[in-house]
Structure 1
Amino acid sequence: MSDSSLFGLTTDPMTVMMSTVVSATLSRTSNTSLTKPVNFTLRHTADLSPNESQSLSCVYWKVKEWVVDGCTLTKTNSSHTVCSCTHLSTFALIMLTHPQKTKAVLELINTVAVSVGMVCLVLSLLTFFLCRRNSRVTKTTRVNLCISLLLAHLLFLLTQSLLHYIKPHQVVCAVLAGVLQFLFLSAFVWMSIEAVLLFISVKNLSRLNQKSMLGWKRLTAVGYGIPLVVVGVSAGVMPGGYGSEKCWLRNDRNLVWSFLGPVCFMLVSNVILFSLIANSLRSSLTRLNSQVSQINQTRIVVFKTVVQFFILGCPWILGFFISSSKILEVLFLFLNSQQGTFIFLIHCILNKEVREQCKKWSRAFCPGKKNS
C-alpha cells in the first residue's frame, strides 16, 4: 500500500513512517496467530545512517494505531529491515526522530524514582519491625504489601536495565513477565485484605484477634495464593502471551486483561468496602458517645487506608492511556514508582506511635538532651 496516509501516524509527533505499508493474510481462515513467527523484509523509503537504524521499530496496525507487541526487528541495514511477527496483520516500519534523548530522560526518571521508592519501602519495613506496638489493623498486611512492592519494583528496574540482554531469550523474558504479574497482583490482593480487615474491625469496634480469627498463615495463603492461581491459569491458557518488547504481558493476545481484570475488580470492591466503612463509622459515632476516642482512632486508620488505596490503585488507571501521551507515561511511571514513598509518609512519618518511639530512641541515645 503505497499511500500510508490511509492509516496515519501515531500521535507522537517524533514518529516518522520509514516504509510502505504491507498486509498479509491467510485465505479460508480467520485465525491470525501463527505457530512460528513469520519474517518479512521492508525496504526503507530513504537510506539511513547506522545511528538512525537503532531507532527503528516494526509495528502493526491495531484498530486505529500502530503497536509493537508481537513484532521484533531482527536485522537492518541502510536500505532494508527484516521484521519477525507472531501473527499476520498490516505492517510497517516507523522511526523515532529523537529516540536517544527521549529514551535517556525516561530511563533516568524511571531509575531515580524507582530507587527512591524502594529506599522508602525498606525504611517502612524497618519501621514496622522495630515498632511492634499493635495497631487496629494487623501489620501482616502492610509488611507483605511492602515486600510485594519492593520485589516488584526491584525486578522491574533490573529487567528494564538489562532489557537488551534479556529480550533475545524469550523464555527468560516470559518468566520475568509472569513473576512481575504475580508480585503486582500480590500487592493489590494485600491492599484488598487490609480493606476487608478494616471493615471487620470497624464493624466490631475492637482490635482484631489475629491468632484466633485471622492468623498470619491464613492471610499469607490468601495474599499469595490468589495471584499465584491467576498467573498459573493465565500461563496455562495462553503461554505465548508472556514476554512483550518490555518483558511484560503482550497486548496483541489480550493477556494483559489477566492483570487489568483482577485489578479493576479489586479497585471496585475496595470502593464498595470503603463506602460501607464510612457508613458504619457515621452510625457508630452517633450511637457510642462513650467511645469517641476509639472511634476517632478508627477514623484515622480508615483515612490512612483510603489514602493508601487511592495512591496505590488509582495511578494504574493511567495505564489505559499512556500509549497516547508521553506526559501521561511519565506521570504513570512517577506515581507508581513512588508508592513506597507514600506508604512511608502515611504509615511511618505521620504515625503518632512511630514518632513517640523515635523520641524514646533519641532520649536513649542522647540522655543529656532535655525533653522539648
Structure 2
Amino acid sequence: NTYVVSASVTNATGRIENLKEYIKDQDVQCVYWDFNKNDGYGGWNPKGCWTYNSSSDYTTCLCDHMTHFGVLLDVSRTPIDEKNEQILTLITYMGCGVSSCFLGITVLTYTLLEKLRRDYPSKILLNLSLALLGLNLVFLLNSWISSFGIYGLCIAVAVTLHYFLLTSFTWMGLGAVNMYFALVKVFNVYVPSYILKFCLLGWGIPLIILNYFIFFSCWVQNDVVFYVSVVSYIAFILLCNGSIFLVVLIQIRNMQVNQPAGTQNGILKDLRAVASLTFLLGLTWSVAFLAWGPVKVFLLYLFSILNSLQGFFIFVFHCLMKENVRKQWRIHLCCGAFKLQEYSEWSQTATVVPKHKPNPPNTFPFMASVRSIKSNSTQSSTVSLESSQHQMTITRPDLGKTLPI
C-alpha cells in the first residue's frame, strides 16, 4: 500500500558504466517518497524507515508508518493523499488519547467499586473496556516502539495490536449474546461459571486466530492473511451484532407498548438507548466496509472519529449517565457537601413499621436469603442500558427503619 516510484536517466542511449564512485551494498539506505518535501514537489525521506537486511541480490526495508485508525480495517487497501492522511492521523491520536483516559476511568470504576459489577453486563463491560484500552494504547505507542528499529519488537507490537483488535470484537460479540439470552431467549436457567466461560472465549478465541496469523503469514500474501484473520472475523461479529441489535430493539419496543399508559419512555431516552447499544456492540466499525470509491475519504473521517472515540462514548453512556454509577462515585469519591452517605436514603423510605414482638436474647430476626437473579442467571441485562434497581425492605431492629437492598 505504498507509492512505487521509478527512476530513469534522461537521454541515456546505452549502458551506464565507468562511474566515478562505486555503488556499495553497505551504503544502501531505505527511504520513502515524501510528497511534502521540496515545496510540494516531493523527495526521499528516511524518517521511520531502516534497512533490515541487505545483500548483492536484494535489500529488505522496514517502515513504521502506521497512521490513522482506519488502517486497522481498510478493506479497500488503497492509499489516500498526504493531506487527508495527516488530518486523519491527528484525529486518530487525539481520539485514541481521549478514549484511553476515559477507558482507564471506566476500568478503575468497575474494578474498585464492587457493587457495580455484580451483574453479567457489568462484568462483560469491564472486559470490553480492558480490551479497547489495550488496543488504543498499543496503537498510540506503535510508532514510538517501531522507531527503535528492532525487528523482533516490531513483530511483537504487530501481534499485540492484532490480538487486542480481535479481543475487542470478541467481547462485543459476547455482550450481544448475553443481551440476546436476557431479552429475547429469556431462559431462566442457571449456568455455572457463566462469566468464566465467557472469559475463556473472549480472551481465548483471538489467540487461536492469532496463531493462524503467525503460522501462515510466513508464506501467504499479507492481503490474504488480512482478509482471513481480520476482515472475515470482524464481518461475522458485526453481522451477528447487527441482527441481535435489531431484535433487541423490537423486544424493547414491545415491552414499552405493553406498559401501562403514562410509563413509556420518551424519544430522547430511546435515542440514548440506541446510541448506547450502537457503541457497545461496535456497530460503527461497519462504516469501514462501505469505504470504497469516491466516498472512501469521507467515510474514513467518520470511521476514525467514531471508533477512536468509542471508549469515550462507552464512558459517557455506561458511567456518566448511569444513576447507580454516579451514586457510587458520590459515596466513595466525593467529600463535603457532594459526598453521599450510603444509607442517606433511609429518611426517604417508609418509616411506619408494624409493631412486632421483641426478639429473644441472642437471636436475630429472620431474613430470607435472596440470591440476585442478576448474578445467577442469564436474565441479567441492560434493557435501557441501565440495570433495573429492584428493592426489597427489611426491618432493622435497633433503628426501626427500612433499609433498601
- Tell me: CA distance 1:163–1:206, structure 2 relative to 1, closer, same or farther (3 Å): same
Number of the residue aligned with 2:106: 124
In the aligned structure 1, how far is the partner of 2:239 from the partner of 2:153? 34
Distance in 1 (CA, whole Å) between partners of 2:86 and 2:213 is: 34
Candidates 186, 202, 209, aligned match of 1:223? 202
Consecutive unaligned residues in structure 1, runs of 5 or more: 1-9, 21-38, 58-71, 76-81, 87-95, 243-249
- Provide the rounded CA distance (Å) in 2 between the counterparts of 1:118 and 1:239: 33
Q: Give the 3-state SS of the residue equivalent to 1:150 in structure 2.
A: helix
Structure 1 residue 313 and structure 2 residue 283: aligned? Answer: yes
1 or 2, which has the higher strand percentage?
1
The answer to whether the 8 A contact 1:323-1:329 is kept is no
Instruction: Provide the residue aligned with 1:189 in structure 2.
Output: 170
Flag the structure with higher helix content. Answer: 1
- Identity, % of aligned positions: 20
CA contact 1:117–1:341 (8 Å) conserved in 2: yes
2:15 is matched with: none
Q: Distance in 2 between matches of 1:128 and 1:208?
A: 26
Paired AA for residue 19 in structure 1? A
1:160 maps to: 143
Which stretch shifts more, 169-178 or 262-271? 169-178
The answer to whether structure 1 residue 333 and structure 2 residue 292 are counterparts is no
- Give, in angstroms, the shift of residue 56 of structure 1: 10
Mark the CA change 1:183 to 1:240 in structure 2 (over 3 Å): closer, same or farther.
farther
**Residue 19 of structure 1 corresponds to which residue in structure 2?**
7
Deviations 1:316-337 (A, max 9, x none): 5327638975554444333322
Aligned residues: 288
Residues 73 and 83 of structure 1 are in contact (CA less than 8 Å); yes or no, is this contact kept in structure 2? no
2:161 aligns with 180
Give 2:201's aligned amino acid: V
Question: Structure 2 residue aligned with 1:233, among 201, 205, 212?
Answer: 212
- Amino acid in structure 2 at the alignment position of 1:53: W
Aligned-residue offset at 1:228: 1.0
- Residue by residue over 1:39-78, the C-alpha shift from the partner in whole angstroms, topping out at 9 and shown as x without a partner, is 9x9xx9xxx98x8211799xxxxxxxxxxxxxx8859xxx
Question: Kindly tell me: are residues 241 and 120 of structure 1, through their superposed partners in 2, closer, same or farther at Cα, counting changes over 3 Å?
Answer: farther
Matches of 2:271 and 2:119, distance apart in 1 = 10
What is the correspondence of 1:278-293 to structure 2 with a 5 Å cutoff? 278-285=249-256
Quote the residue 2:320 is aligned against: 349
**Aligned counterparts of 1:331 and 1:162: Cα–Cα separation in 2:** 28
Question: For residue 218 of structure 1, what is the amino acid of its counterpart?
Answer: K
The separation in 2 between residues aligned to 1:277 and 1:106, in whole angstroms, is: 34
Cα RMSD for the two superposed structures: 4.8
Shift of 1:201: 1.3
Tell me if the contact between 2:279 and 2:314 (Cα under 8 Å) persists in the aligned partners: yes
User: Is the 1:304–1:347 contact (alpha carbons within 8 Å) kept by the matching residues of 2?
Assistant: no
1:263 matched to 2:245? The reply is: no
Compared with structure 1, are the counterparts of its residues 317 and 160 closer, same or farther at alpha carbon in structure 2 (3 Å cutoff)? farther
Query: Which runs of structure 2 are paired with 1:26-175 in the superposition (5 Å)?
Result: 52-54=43-45, 84=60, 106-129=88-111, 130=113, 132-133=115-116, 137-166=120-149, 169-175=150-156
**Equivalent-residue separation in structure 2 for 1:171 and 1:84 (angstroms):** 15
For residue 165 of structure 1, give the secondary structure of its aligned residue in structure 2. coil
Contact 2:291 2:297 (8 Å CA) reproduced: no
- Residues in 1 aligned to 2:46 and 2:338: alpha-carbon distance in whole angstroms: 62
Q: Residues 74 and 236 of structure 1: is their aligned pair in 2 closer, same or farther, counting only changes over 3 Å?
A: closer
Q: Kindly provide the CA deviation profile for residues 246-290 of structure 1, in whole angstroms up to 9, marking residues without a partner as x.
A: xxxx33x44343111110001111112223323434444556769
Deviation at 1:165, TM superposition (A): 2.5
Contact 1:145–1:187 (CA under 8 A) maintained in structure 2:
yes
Residues 131, 357 of structure 1: 8 Å contact kept:
no
Distance change (3 Å), C-alpha of 1:162 and 1:334 = farther
**Contact persistence 1:136–1:301 (CA under 8 A):** no
Q: Spell out, residue by residue over 1:208-248, the C-alpha distance to the aligned partner (whole angstroms, 9 max, x if none).
A: 96xx4453221110111111111112322333569xxxxxx
Do the aligned partners of residues 263 and 274 (structure 1) sit closer, same or farther apart at CA in structure 2, a change above 3 Å counting?
same
- The one-character-per-residue Cα deviations of 1:138-181 (angstroms, maximum 9, x if unpaired) are 32211111111111111111112333334xx4443233222211
Structure with max Cα Rg: 2
Is the alpha carbon distance of 1:367 and 1:346 closer, same or farther for their aligned partners in structure 2, counting shifts above 3 Å? closer
Is the aligned partner of 1:358 residue 2:335?
A: no
Change (3 A) 1:307 1:241: same
Confirm or deny: 8 A CA contact 1:144 1:190 kept in the other structure: yes
In structure 2, how many angstroms separate the alpha carbons of the residues matched to 1:351 and 1:152?
25
The residue type equivalent to 2:242 in the other structure is V
Q: Please give the secondary structure, in 1, of the residue aligned with 2:226.
A: coil
Deviates more, 1:220-229 or 1:269-278: 269-278
State the alpha-carbon separation in 1 of the partners of residues 311 and 338 from structure 2.
33
Pair 163,330 (structure 1): closer, same or farther in 2 beyond 3 Å? farther
* 1:116 Cα deviation after fit: 1.1
Secondary structure of the equivalent of 1:53?
A: strand
CA distance in 2, matches of 1:137, 1:162: 36
Asked whether the 8 Å contact 2:100–2:311 carries over to 1, the reply is yes
